[in-house]
Amino acid sequence: MEHSTTAPQPESGADQAGERNERPPSLSWKLVPAALLSTSAFFLFALQEPLVGYPLLISSLVLAVVLERKLAQDLLLIGIGVGIVSLTSVEADVSWPAFTRIGITLALAVTVPFLIDRLVYKRQAIRFPWRSRQKKTKGQLAYLFVVPILGWAILPFYFIRSGAYLNWPQITDGSELVRFFVGVNAVGTWDELFFVATCFALLCRHFPVWQANLLQTVIFVSFLWELGYRAWGPLLTIPFALVQGYLFSRTRSLGYVLIVHLLFDAIVFLAIVHAHNRDWWPIFIY
């Protein structure tokens, strides 16, 4: 069988290593360990309750072993990533020690599962398909222009009216401004590498796209809550995570969803800096 060199095809339950799986059933006992894994991320990231989160994480992996070996392998990769991230606080901080600590932790959370997939499992279930041969639709291209407009209209209102901008440090000098800009874009890139190209893609090997998308969204939004998107932030982050997963399943392009994310994050950067320093970039309405 010819192996595809483009992006994964999660909408049909394709195995990214080149094997073709049957369409996943809508209802399966495999949902139980996967849901436990997503719930563990909620307790570890959002609620900061490791005494609940780690037992849930371990239980999900044990149950997966009982149910199916392939499921256990894939949930282990996700669980390793979640576990690595949970070892440090990812609350926004632009100090050099925090900048380095968070950067190393997030890098390991993507790299370790990837290397295990390649070197231990001897497969290519985790891929980073930056481009796709599939032509983008007019709607998908138009969305690239809509995203920054939506961000401009919504984000300053959210950050300032909810007070969520206070979850990010105030920028006091040029060095901090540069680190904050780099950090926002680096975390946005990591989000797509881990939550979409790793978690979502692995879950799509066992579940229909809509179920895999809901499962990865719980993990994604829980992480964003810890990062600083609190108050009524989930009203924004839940739809965003769901749309990112959906777009990845349709475009088969990590590059496309990353562009969408970074366009949004450009407004995040401007809005948070403006919220702390109202005379900087007074281009928002809130």
Mean pLDDT, residues 189-197 taken together: 98
Task: Specify if 3 maps to a domain.
Answer: no
How many other CB atoms are found less than 10 A from the CB of residue 141? 11
The pLDDT tens digits of the residues spanning 203-257 come to 999 999 999 999 999 999 999 999 999 999 999 999 999 999 999 999 999 999 9
| pLDDT surpassing 50 at residue 7 | no
Domain count, the chain: 1
Length of the chain, in residues: 286
In the structure encoding, which two tokens stand for residue 164, read together? 């969520």
Look at residues 153, 163, 149 and name the one whose alpha carbon lies nearest to residue 276. Answer: 163
pLDDT band at 134 (very low <50, low <70, confident <90, very high): confident
CA–CA separation, 276 vs 7, rounded Å? 40
Return all residues near 232 (Cβ < 8 A) that are at least 6 apart.
158, 162
How many other CB atoms are found less than 10 A from the CB of residue 137? 11
Domain containing 242 equals 10-276
Task: Specify if 281 maps to a domain.
Answer: no
In the chain, the percentage of residues whose pLDDT exceeds 70 is 93
The pLDDT tens digits of the residues spanning 98-132 come to 999 999 999 999 999 999 999 999 999 999 999 88
Task: Specify if 267 maps to a domain.
Answer: yes
Treating both helix axes as pointing N-terminal to C-terminal, what angle do 138-162 and 254-276 enclose, rounded to 10 degrees?
30
Mean pLDDT of the chain: 92
